[in-house]
Amino acid sequence: MLDLITIGDSTLDTFLILDEKSDASKLTKDKKLVCFNYAQKIPITNTAQSVGGNAANVAVGTKKLGHTSAIVTELGDDINGHIIKSELEESKVSTKMVKIIRNEETRYSIVLNYKSERTILSYHAKRNYILPKLPQTKWIYYTSLGKTFEKVQTKLEGHLKKNPNIKLAMNPGSYQFSKGLSKIKKILPHADILFVNKEEAIKLVGKKKSIKGLFSSLHKMGAKEVIITDSTNGSYASNGVEKLFMRTYAIPALARTGAGDAYTSGYLSATMYGKSMSEAMQWGTANAGGVIQAFGAQKGLLSKAKLENIIKKHKQIKPRKM
């Protein structure tokens, strides 16, 4: 019996840390555009590589926090694919359901890091997703997939109906939000926990609303527990009865890639340990605080002992009722 199976695409991320002192890279005053001079060499100060993708990040994050995890993902039969599989195995995540596709490429991303934020250039390899037979598990985490994800979701919905004891956590990806929103809404009644950022919550609901309004609409759509993250502003959680807000810890950010997945790993791990929604928010916030101190979505993921130390260090910051 596994604690968690994650389902989603995996990537190999290459980080390019842009030189903030160079005039070749600029940020507009409203912080909406990173600008480069056309046909000019852009200096970087550092580079790094890391396995990424929501499913891989959460599988590794929950494993590091003491749970057994496995991943369902499809990789190309190329160097990137074999690196990802090897890294997952090194992290003690079960790769028995990892499918290597011959003569295909693996999904990858180029992450431009500038002033602690990231701009991602993402390559989506073509896939014809197939959901394998799933072993026994307590939780499933369903997340980012590309074109043809609908077939996997249909099979997943059937599996959840046949196994009502399995709990579902989910965080749809960018393709699902842009091309498959109606399909994603169909699985929300199965969602025990829905993780979204503020912009994603608005897309699901279809209009701008207050956080309480977003909670109300998402609960009506079927999600039992809803977590809304709002970058450096903090996070919100609701189970339909209690609504909480928690601000972030004052931890300097080197890079923010993977912070959302780290929050999910922490929150979900705490929930699987039977902790309260308030405690889960602290676990999520602490784990995100670890990740933003390193380049890559997994390098800064915390062990249970380190996570608890961060919470103790910031014991004055706790969730409050909305």
Give 263-282 pLDDT, tens digit per residue.
Answer: 999 999 999 999 999 999 99
Please give the Cα distance from 314 to 297 (Å, whole number): 23
Give 96-108 pLDDT, tens digit per residue.
Answer: 999 999 999 999 9
Give a yes or no: residue 30 inside a domain. Answer: no
Give a yes or no: residue 28 inside a domain. Answer: no
Q: What percent of the chain has pLDDT over 70?
A: 100
- CB neighbour list of residue 240: distance below 8 Å, 6 or more residues apart: 219, 224, 225
Q: At what angle do helices 259-272 and 54-64 cross, to 10 degrees?
A: 50
Give 135-149 pLDDT, tens digit per residue.
Answer: 999 999 999 999 999
Q: What is the CA radius of gyration of the chain?
A: 19
Domain count, the chain: 1
Which ranges of 65-197 does DSSP label H, i.e. alpha helix? Answer: 79-90, 149-162, 174-179, 181-187
Statement: residue 20 has pLDDT above 90: no
Exposed, middle or buried by CB within 10 Å (0-12, 13-18, 19+), for 316? exposed
Give a yes or no: residue 225 inside a domain. Answer: yes
Q: Residue 21: what pLDDT?
A: 85
Residue whose entry in the numeric block shows the structure tokens 């990802």: 84
Three-state SS for 139? strand
- 12's tokens: 């190999």
- 139's tokens: 């939780």
The amino acid at 316? Q
Domain limits for position 300: 2-22+42-321
- CB neighbour list of residue 297: distance below 8 Å, 6 or more residues apart: 13, 50, 51, 52, 57, 257, 258, 261, 262, 291
- Kind and range of the H or E run holding 122: strand 117-123
- Taking the chain, what is the end-to-end CA distance rounded to the nearest angstrom? 37
Q: Residue 122: what pLDDT?
A: 87
Please give the Cα distance from 223 to 218 (Å, whole number): 6
- 19's tokens: 């030189």
Q: Residue 124: what pLDDT?
A: 84
Give a yes or no: residue 83 inside a domain. Answer: yes
Give a yes or no: residue 34 inside a domain. Answer: no
188 in Cβ contact with 221 (< 8 Å): yes
Statement: residue 300 has pLDDT above 90: no
> Quick one: DSSP state of residue 173?
-
pTM > 0.75: yes or no: yes
| Domain containing residue 124: CATH number | 3.40.1190.20
CA 24 to chain centre: 31
